[in-house]
Amino acid sequence: MSAAKSHDEVYIVGGGMTAFGRFDGEDQALAEEAMRGALADAGLSWNDVDIAVGGTNGETKPDNMVGRMGLSGIPFTTVKNGCATGGVALMTARNGLIAEQSDIACVVGYDNHSRGAFAASPSRYGIGEWYGATGMMVTTSYFALKIRRYLHEHGIDERTLGYASQKAFDYGSSHPLAWRRKPVSVDEALESDMINDPLTRFMFCSPDAGAVSLILARGPRAFDLCENPVRLAAAVLRGRRPGSFEVFSPWLSPGERTGPSIDAAKAAFAIAGIAAADVDVAQLQDTDSGAEIIHLGETGLCVDGEQGAGYVNGDYVIDGRLPVNTDGGCLANGEPVGASGLRQVHEVMRQLQGRAQGQQVPNNPRIGFTHVYGAPGISACTVLVKEGKGA
């Protein structure tokens, strides 16, 4: 057990998650299910919660959840940061506990998206209409362009994309809350319908529905509630700098190549005092299989160009050097935007506590890492450390 139980340390002591997939009801019904599940997991009631934070990419307002959960008078903050919404909600709750000297926070992320690709106007992102005319507002085009360049620059075999998909669907097939539950072979992934070369149908996630909630506790209170609380050692958000090529940022300046994922991961590891090589289980944004490959390098979890050998050698499977996206990631779960980042943290929390709902990482994992990336070029990363009797 860690000796540090500072009042400025924040721990995850409970979590709840709905099944991901298609849903015909209201998105806030999903949020309520996840929140009540998280409270039950922590052995708490809604009246025990001091502050709450919620995120969604939809039209509803998460702070309206007090109408479902109870009018207890607590402050409820709403956030919206694209694919990074869940990570930002978690960071906001953590900071709120410390700033307000409160004990318990509830975080929730949810969405219920319709079928098809997300549609957005270029003007909403400060881009001319010409960008839409090129087809780049359909993010499949952008992701295909980015991974094609990355594969070329680092000499990675295109077949690596198929390995990433195979791994995701294998994990998803054994996770009771995953949406896509049918295994897919490397060849099936490579030979499925081409969407945007080199990315095929089995290499993309889809918008869907789902909700995740986490309960945070500050300082010694966490050890009263949970035998193995997971310390939120770092929660970091970074945006783009010159030299990055990001979603809806259609330019690339000469010189050093940068990126919000590079900056966020580096900062998270520095704050936590942990090296990337120390991570036992990781969750990376895999909007497509190419994104997982890129993010392995950008976060420092492997050297750029070594991903192909890593997949072939089984480095990223459940008993490999570094299990990645052990619940199937976005490929197997889809992406309800507000819930996706919290799904990652929920999965790592359960892996570190030895109670994974799908495949369990062996050998008592202690350190976890999560990463989300989204438009117009932002990334949120967390470092999670198991404390308590099992640490």
Mind giving me the DSSP string for 186-240?
HHHHHHSPEEETTEEGGGB----EEEEEEEEEETTHHHHH-SS-EEEEEEEEEE-
CA–CA separation, 327 vs 360, rounded Å? 10
User: Which of the listed ranges 1-5, 125-129, 194-198, 249-253 does the model predict with the highest average pLDDT?
Assistant: 194-198
Cα four-point dihedral sign 200, 201, 202, 204? positive
Backbone torsions φ then ψ of 369, nearest 5 degrees: -140, 140
pLDDT band at 2 (very low <50, low <70, confident <90, very high): very low
| Backbone angles phi and psi of 69, in degrees to 5 | -90, -30
Where do runs of H (alpha helix) occur along the chain? Answer: 27-42, 66-69, 85-100, 130-133, 139-154, 160-173, 186-191, 221-225, 260-272, 289-298, 307-312, 329-333, 337-352
The amino acid at 274: I
Q: Is the pLDDT of residue 252 over 80?
A: no
* Portion of the chain with pLDDT greater than 70, in percent: 96
- Comparing 211 with 390, the larger pLDDT belongs to 211
Residue 46 in 3-state DSSP? helix
What does the pLDDT read at residue 115?
A: 78
The mean pLDDT of 2-10, rounded to a whole number, is: 66
Edge-to-edge strand list for the sheet holding 10-17: 76-79, 51-55, 104-112, 209-218, 10-17, 230-239, 378-386, 367-374, 281-283
Q: Hey, what domains does the chain have and what are their CATH numbers?
A: 10-114+205-386 (3.40.47.10)
Question: How does pLDDT run across 66-120, given as a tens digit for each residue?
Answer: 999 999 999 999 999 888 999 999 999 999 999 988 999 999 999 998 876 666 7
What per-residue confidence (pLDDT) applies to 130?
Answer: 85
pLDDT at res. 119: 66
Which amino acid, one-letter code, is at 223? F
pLDDT at position 137 is 80
Identify any residues that bridge with 371 across adjacent strands, giving them in sequence order: 381
pLDDT reported for residue 1: 39
**Lowest-pLDDT range, 15-19, 167-171, 204-208, 275-279?**
204-208
Q: Which two tokens stand for residue 376?
A: 């117009």
Q: What is the pLDDT of residues 298-328, one digit of tens each?
A: 999 999 999 999 999 999 999 999 999 999 9
Let me know: does 289 contact 320? Beta carbons within 8 Å.
no
* Residue 248 tokens, joined: 């809806």
Are the C-beta atoms of 144 and 299 separated by less than 8 Å? Answer: no
Average pLDDT in the chain: 93
Please give the structure tokens belonging to residue 199. 């990315």
